[in-house]
Structure 1
């Protein structure tokens, strides 16, 4: 392209490697799908491509599929490149966000879209960007596909037929035949699932050429071998107890998988093996296969599916957490899966009955302490002290001592080579899997030279205290925290059980009356609501319960200093000192403080995808310690080293030998290699779609034939309709996949803001679409009753469409629950009451959006086309403007409808005369009564002016 050739001199220095240059020139020549191996710098290539068009000026590129973090990355990169290259025409990245920007701001930005240039990101999860070009909309004419130079699609592996990205690309290609489409992905595995997955994905992207760049690509391998990094591979041996626990967990996983296979013989179980069970996506794959038959699945199968996630988490915690935290995690799992005392409910997972489960808990306990630690002993022991009946073992992670040795080696080398030999800063970078592991390593490095002198009187003869560097101080502190947690844990468990009994039995379980609190809690807050002690003592906080029901430990927050010194009046000297400190401008700060030398810094950072490239570029580390393996980061280091030949870097990567960690790493590399091999084979055998032209647009004759109506009774002659069928769609419905499927079936969509209904198929047919989740919520707040009432008032054939998900079971309740008594609050009962109240409402059951599109086609046959202007006016009051921006902002409307006194009949008066919620909260009762009446105004006024102490 001329744009890229004109800007090549400005972006050449940003792509130093040969494969980057080749890929950059390749995507500039034609539209294609680029699948790049992880860690090879995909975002760098994308930002250079965008900058080439941005620097040329008069180009508007729409970026699709990028998340918030990637938007920030692209915006920063474009700004930096524009500053370095001094490109006058470069305009950077513009973002249209429905959450942080007002309607007026978005209108102003999209209204001047021809002056934006550069890159444009539209948060299309709420409204599609091309609804503005379809007419009959309050956004009509703000942005047109013809004004867009091209589309850049990130995460192309997520683009499926029902996604909004596919909908956007289809509209763009139909209305703009000259613009380009470039799709990128660094995740090859999804392109290898299903029948002809690559060809299917190319069809969704309207592309015809895939470009594959694996790690074993000749150009990539040659580019990364120019100057390789110094790599030190360190295999760490697990302790005997860790190896024993790992073997027991793997045995539980193997038994669980075999039980799943026995109960689900009709499913495809090719990937149900131990190798796949180590990856995060394993339980997701199983759930995806079980979703269509979830109503037929037994309780045991559902329990095992959840257990696989728990067991995989145990394996991860074994290798990353210290022994105290790991044992505490096991106790929370056991408490979560154990039935309450005094009940006959059997909710324990099947793997807990295995001998291997007993091995997991017993060996995990022996890693922490030996002896007895009963509730009575812990409660009677002073807070912060270890009971005499307990002997700490506190087994340390083997990687900690090796990490200390590596840092000592780095320190010795830095001492003898004080003059830097390259352009690096000499920083040491430690990379971990998550932030939790980072906090653990930071605490270890800060306390590894500390001595637990305060515990000298305890029963402790541990030889680790005599070592130069150990985790004894940190581990004993965690043991004391664990004993405090265990003491509170028993109290909270008893309290939660009591509350559960009261909720289920409506009072005292024995007498049926209200249950009194125990004397020890009388006049106090419940155990899980205790006040924090001064100094933030760990004994003051107790565990809570998350949304999933798993008991978690809450972290203490710093105590407010004002609370500590409440009631103490400062002296005159303290007042003067406070004033003096308050006006100190810190002009002489250099006399007391100085910045750290970069060579003295040890940075502990979690893996963060493409953001790791920025960390390497900013820190310029001399030493990188990979505390845990990550194939993508290894390649990023290779790219970084080959891109900067004047910077030397040494990489230490540590892993447990013969462990799940090593097996997971090797399996990840093998899966990616196999995926690229399958893609190369499919690319060689892929046929060319002849029904599409060079730009992926349907042939005009094919489009004409689709409008021919052959369903004429009596074998009459063919009739060609003047235009495709038309459906009026509410703009809020573009969140779903149904509009995309309707558009794909050659249906003209007219997006409008409808007051009544979601889809208008004809002047007489109005459809209100409800997903299962939305249906339950509509019954709960009474919204569905009002919607049915208004549809009956304005349309002859109102319909309620209940749509299920494509990959979910087409059933409201599991078969096992149909035998139970259906109460008045069940969903089936509410549907019966709805049909009794509105007998003219027709209910349509659809198993998926695909079936819904077919149903709409059948309903529209031999029906006149609806009028958009008429559909917009239906339901509006006299003088109400349908183009009012406030009428289309759904979030404030939902908040307004939740206020007591605001109903479906009076909320419009508030919206038309009140600017926002803040103004409504400051209004007097008389002013509100003038809008919605005295009774409703009293409720609204009391809601906003109610005291928090009432």
Structure 2
């Protein structure tokens, strides 16, 4: 659709750089990469509205999450109301839940804007339920995720093969993702089938002029000093992190480790950076290295927790981390985490304890209860704001007097709300020097200390109980002459313990249940980590700090004057733009620095020149909080610099082979003519029948890229049908383990062997991870005699013994799998999709000519409340699905139980028209 065909509409793009971007989007296809916080979704919704107002356009949005769908839907409805455009359809969301094929086909025929999941869209394209040629355009969000094997890349390839006229726009605000690898921007452009990249960093001339040319935001920067204890803890944790990184480097000298440093350790993606190098050699990695990798994640969380959590909660969090890092009893050969043995760790423990109390818990303790320095500053800021509102009561603009406090996460928000509600309360034995009007966290901290001591006693009892059970299990095993009684293994014998709890319990040790008990302890620790503030005196606490008993109940509301509101909210990405527009705050307090939100405030202020905004910017001086903020700004600037340089040197070419399926996808296949004994060359496009559930993997895309016709069907037997005789069940390693655990793989192998001459099991590994299973177990005579719990290799052996015709294909990556499939199809007949769908169906079922078909059991599984455990209870009582759908609620509750019965009755009696 050309720019001339778009009717005039009212847009909400007041800034010059936003208007320039909009004009570019209307005129040509491009990949738009913007800096965070500049309002990417606003530009997307305005562009979509301009297309929606034209009417009769079928536009597809891919890559949007649920919250972005909500944003886009509300914005399109608002734009349609303001523009009074009669042809606007708004947004329609197509997800996996309940949209049938017929319903989707009807919606496509009526046109409109659809946000659709990639898996549904690619199946609709390939099955021709949606003709790509009638699509007006595609909008791709989160373009940084469109790698060569992504479903989105598959969709765009099919779209461009059959539609050369429709538009294609891609958007991203993560410039760092386009800087990894060789020529990353050019690679991404090929994946997106686009020629033009458009870059808008914060230092772009148009952006700078738009934000600086207006009245600037009034910013008050507050540099807060950490306490001596906080600084000691931070330095100790950083020393532990640095020592752990050094240990990693020593144990993995052959890897590229330039990015393994303390500066990058502050980055949120540091764990991914480390695992990117370790994944290919993870099977050869020592248990010590794996332990250090886990420890690094916990230490990095501690590093920021000391700045966010109060002193009591940090101690509680530290206790759980240390308990998880200690080896469980019975694992004598397992050492504790290396960082626990450092002097810096002892310094951290001592400093953390001194912030809360002095003395020993077993004796009398003296509360210290050090407060976070930011709390006092926050209280003074709010007092200053209230004074400003008192002396200047007359509003000069339409900004509200609400105070907006922005924090990093919900935990920080909860802590600040509690402090603001209780900062003028005084404990009974409060210090006389503390004035009534002086803000203090003494009341809150004393209550938290009481809760911590209660939690500590409970935690100690549970840990002691679990440790006692482990010791009893060890002693019982030794008494029965189990593996623990054999003592240390001879020096020449390979130990089977490889640092993993699952690997340590091999077939020769089936009676030792200490591993499961230790797992229970880990689960308990995880639960404590996620519920640090849940205590038995919660009702009393709520009464003490005056919390409304109806808090959290959506059916109750109370209206407040805006000048009485203090809104405490976590940073929430693009949703923060809505927050600013709805609250219209005159005063904003950034409790923690966030680069994207600062830019959102700049854009908000520049869009509303009649509103005044004052921002209080708080940060701990010399802290990792400040370093992370400055580091994120530097990394974004460096990323845009690299992208600008690559764009200037890029010679963009599109692989036209991928866009001409008639000329290049048709392969010359040698087929033997029956009875003639001659080889004839015929031009045939090879085809593969693929189960629709397999489109969550990258293999169908790679097969299509190698010139094969992909036919999506709902298969009962197998995942891929290559020929009338070859049926393949594909399993990733995790799927393989799960299928062995529930016995499903044996049923699948039995069905394939029953209906196909050449059944095959494909075990496919991740291309970025090691191509190996754990080394084969040492099958001693004792292990051979006890096969009650065989390992994965043993189960594979049993599978091949049970099904002699079953062949196992080992593939190191989806790329190799595509090559294997191509070799298997040579000189073979093409599969019939209708027969492939009919195989395995019960007598009387209709395959619907190869379209997606489901067995009654599959249909039952999607009903809410139905599980594999209760599935056969309903089939024993009900003859067919029609009878089940017409049953009364009481009858369903009698068969399935009250809760499940009600869910099923509501599902079958739901009014779809009203929905």
TM-score normalized by the length of structure 2: 0.85
The 8 Å contact of residues 223 and 621 in structure 2, kept in 1 or not, is answered as yes
User: Which residue number corresponds to residue 61 of structure 1?
Assistant: 59
Equivalence map 1:646-725=2 (5 Å): 646-689=610-653, 691-692=655-656, 697-698=659-660, 701-703=663-665, 707-708=667-668, 721-725=682-686
The 8 Å contact of residues 5 and 54 in structure 2, kept in 1 or not, is answered as no
SS in 2 for 1:405: helix
The 8 Å contact of residues 96 and 121 in structure 1, kept in 2 or not, is answered as yes
**The one of 519, 522, 534 aligned to 1:555:** 534
**2-structure distance, mates of 1:840, 1:371:** 72
The one-character-per-residue Cα deviations of 1:442-472 (angstroms, maximum 9, x if unpaired) are 111111111101x45xxxx695577711111
User: Which residue number corresponds to residue 87 of structure 1?
Assistant: 85
User: Which residue number corresponds to residue 223 of structure 1?
Assistant: 210
The 8 Å contact of residues 242 and 318 in structure 1, kept in 2 or not, is answered as yes
The 8 Å contact of residues 32 and 183 in structure 1, kept in 2 or not, is answered as yes
**1-structure distance, mates of 2:778, 2:370:** 48
The 8 Å contact of residues 668 and 683 in structure 2, kept in 1 or not, is answered as no
The 8 Å contact of residues 544 and 551 in structure 1, kept in 2 or not, is answered as no
User: Which residue number corresponds to residue 460 of structure 2?
Assistant: 490
User: Which residue number corresponds to residue 733 of structure 1?
Assistant: 694
Change in CA separation of 1:923 and 1:154 when aligned onto 2, cut-off 3 Å:
closer
Q: CA deviation at 1:81?
A: 0.7
The 8 Å contact of residues 94 and 116 in structure 1, kept in 2 or not, is answered as no
Q: CA deviation at 1:511?
A: 13
Q: CA deviation at 1:8?
A: 3.9
Change in CA separation of 1:52 and 1:415 when aligned onto 2, cut-off 3 Å:
same
**The one of 820, 826, 835 aligned to 2:791:** 826
User: Which residue number corresponds to residue 838 of structure 1?
Assistant: 803
**2-structure distance, mates of 1:440, 1:879:** 63
Q: CA deviation at 1:676?
A: 0.4
Change in CA separation of 1:142 and 1:558 when aligned onto 2, cut-off 3 Å:
farther
**2-structure distance, mates of 1:81, 1:557:** 50
**2-structure distance, mates of 1:215, 1:295:** 43
Equivalence map 1:431-510=2 (5 Å): 431-453=406-428, 455=429, 468-501=438-471
SS in 1 for 2:683: coil
Q: CA deviation at 1:719?
A: 7.9
Q: CA deviation at 1:678?
A: 0.5
Equivalence map 1:857-876=2 (5 Å): 857-876=822-841
Q: How many aligned residue pairs are there?
A: 835
Q: CA deviation at 1:27?
A: 1.1
Q: CA deviation at 1:882?
A: 3.0
1:626 is aligned to 2:593: no
**The one of 83, 98, 103 aligned to 1:108:** 103
Q: CA deviation at 1:427?
A: 1.4
User: Which residue number corresponds to residue 767 of structure 1?
Assistant: 728
Q: CA deviation at 1:243?
A: 0.9
User: Which residue number corresponds to residue 422 of structure 1?
Assistant: 397
SS in 1 for 2:159: helix
The 8 Å contact of residues 665 and 706 in structure 2, kept in 1 or not, is answered as no
**1-structure distance, mates of 2:74, 2:698:** 33
The one-character-per-residue Cα deviations of 1:573-626 (angstroms, maximum 9, x if unpaired) are xxxxxxxxxxxxx9xx9xxx9832212211111000000000100000001000
1:162 is aligned to 2:132: no
Q: CA deviation at 1:711?
A: 12
Equivalence map 1:593-608=2 (5 Å): 595-608=559-572
SS in 2 for 1:852: helix
SS in 1 for 2:406: strand
**2-structure distance, mates of 1:237, 1:772:** 50
**2-structure distance, mates of 1:317, 1:485:** 19
The 8 Å contact of residues 72 and 91 in structure 2, kept in 1 or not, is answered as yes
Q: CA deviation at 1:915?
A: 3.7
SS in 1 for 2:847: coil
The one-character-per-residue Cα deviations of 1:185-206 (angstroms, maximum 9, x if unpaired) are 0001110011111111111111
**1-structure distance, mates of 2:379, 2:134:** 59
**2-structure distance, mates of 1:463, 1:814:** 69
User: Which residue number corresponds to residue 288 of structure 1?
Assistant: 276
Q: CA deviation at 1:208?
A: 1.1
SS in 1 for 2:259: coil
> Structure 1 residues 863-872 or 494-503, which shifts more?
494-503
The 8 Å contact of residues 399 and 585 in structure 2, kept in 1 or not, is answered as yes
The one-character-per-residue Cα deviations of 1:46-101 (angstroms, maximum 9, x if unpaired) are 000000000110111110000000000000000111111111100100011223x2
The 8 Å contact of residues 717 and 752 in structure 2, kept in 1 or not, is answered as yes
**1-structure distance, mates of 2:281, 2:860:** 35
**2-structure distance, mates of 1:719, 1:498:** 76
User: Which residue number corresponds to residue 545 of structure 1?
Assistant: 524
User: Which residue number corresponds to residue 572 of structure 1?
Assistant: none
**2-structure distance, mates of 1:58, 1:730:** 33
User: Which residue number corresponds to residue 617 of structure 1?
Assistant: 581
The 8 Å contact of residues 544 and 552 in structure 1, kept in 2 or not, is answered as no
**1-structure distance, mates of 2:862, 2:805:** 33
**1-structure distance, mates of 2:264, 2:74:** 38
SS in 1 for 2:366: strand
User: Which residue number corresponds to residue 274 of structure 1?
Assistant: 262
> Structure 1 residues 624-633 or 680-689, which shifts more?
680-689
The one-character-per-residue Cα deviations of 1:13-56 (angstroms, maximum 9, x if unpaired) are x0000000000000111111100000000000000000000011
**The one of 380, 387, 402 aligned to 2:377:** 402
The one-character-per-residue Cα deviations of 1:623-660 (angstroms, maximum 9, x if unpaired) are 10000000000000000010000000001100011111
1:152 is aligned to 2:139: yes
User: Which residue number corresponds to residue 869 of structure 2?
Assistant: 899
1:197 is aligned to 2:184: yes
The one-character-per-residue Cα deviations of 1:488-509 (angstroms, maximum 9, x if unpaired) are 1211212222344456666999
The 8 Å contact of residues 670 and 826 in structure 2, kept in 1 or not, is answered as no
User: Which residue number corresponds to residue 812 of structure 1?
Assistant: 773
SS in 1 for 2:593: coil
SS in 2 for 1:756: coil
The 8 Å contact of residues 6 and 56 in structure 1, kept in 2 or not, is answered as yes
User: Which residue number corresponds to residue 779 of structure 1?
Assistant: 740
TM-score normalized by the length of structure 1: 0.82
1:803 is aligned to 2:764: yes
**1-structure distance, mates of 2:861, 2:829:** 35
SS in 2 for 1:121: strand
The 8 Å contact of residues 323 and 394 in structure 1, kept in 2 or not, is answered as yes
SS in 2 for 1:468: coil
The 8 Å contact of residues 766 and 798 in structure 1, kept in 2 or not, is answered as yes
Equivalence map 1:176-187=2 (5 Å): 176-187=163-174
1:638 is aligned to 2:608: no
**1-structure distance, mates of 2:611, 2:898:** 68
**2-structure distance, mates of 1:155, 1:392:** 50
The 8 Å contact of residues 629 and 665 in structure 1, kept in 2 or not, is answered as yes
User: Which residue number corresponds to residue 910 of structure 2?
Assistant: none
Q: CA deviation at 1:881?
A: 2.1
Q: CA deviation at 1:826?
A: 1.1
Gaps of 5+ in 1: 136-140, 378-388, 513-541, 562-585, 929-939, 946-950
User: Which residue number corresponds to residue 820 of structure 2?
Assistant: 855
Change in CA separation of 1:923 and 1:341 when aligned onto 2, cut-off 3 Å:
closer
SS in 2 for 1:10: coil
The one-character-per-residue Cα deviations of 1:823-849 (angstroms, maximum 9, x if unpaired) are 543111111111111111111011111
**2-structure distance, mates of 1:893, 1:505:** 48
Change in CA separation of 1:942 and 1:372 when aligned onto 2, cut-off 3 Å:
closer
The 8 Å contact of residues 223 and 618 in structure 2, kept in 1 or not, is answered as yes
Gaps of 5+ in 2: 483-520, 541-554, 673-677, 902-915
**2-structure distance, mates of 1:907, 1:171:** 45
**The one of 121, 129, 152 aligned to 1:142:** 129
Q: CA deviation at 1:684?
A: 1.1
The 8 Å contact of residues 295 and 814 in structure 1, kept in 2 or not, is answered as no
**2-structure distance, mates of 1:543, 1:403:** 37
